[in-house]
Amino acid sequence: MVSQDTKGKIVKETFPSEVVSIVGDLLAGIILSLLIIRFASFLVLILMVPALLSLRGNLSGPFIARTSRDLIIGAFSKKSWFENVLATYSLSIITAFFIGIFSLLLNLTFFKLTILPILDFILIPIISIILTLSISIPCSTGLNYLAFKKGLNPNNVINPVMTAIDDFSTVLCFLLTIILLGVP
């Protein structure tokens, strides 16, 4: 039977990773502000960012939790990991599609800007989240494994650290996507 972590151990393991999360998120926000404000389609693009960051957290968090659970209970295998990856990518693509649709509808309803082609509203979130997960999944799997091997509870340590890494990579992948698509 796995022992429960004490309150002191949880705080000791979690606090440093929360600091990393806060600093990483602040840097990601600064970089985002500095880099996408120069785009003519800034008002349209900024609609997608909170949803993409939320999507990343809502899907990456459970991926990390399932991976750490499998490590802790000794059920980690290539098959369970692959199923977890497939589920995460599937949910992400479906949700990113809806982010694009909702962004388009908000734009048509409130801003009425015709700067972006309709297809870009769909492609930007899908490509951004696929690129982000391609960084996040291997990184979080490796960090979960390292934390577990070092005797730390991955559930206490990895989520906050991955929040910073994922938010930073989401911003960079979003920027890369809009550049690749030639967004004005």
pTM of the predicted model, to two decimals? 0.84
Say what the pLDDT of residue 2 is. 45
Answer yes or no: are the C-beta atoms of 105 and 122 closer than 8 Å.
Answer: no
Say what the pLDDT of residue 4 is. 61
DSSP-derived secondary structure for 6-44 = PHHHHHHHHHHHHHHHHHHHHHHHHHHHHHHTTSTTHHH
Say what the pLDDT of residue 27 is. 82
Which fold is adopted by the domain 19-180? Answer: Tetracycline Repressor; domain 2 (1.10.357)
Domain spans of the chain? Answer: 19-180
| Residue spans of the chain under pLDDT 50 | 1-2
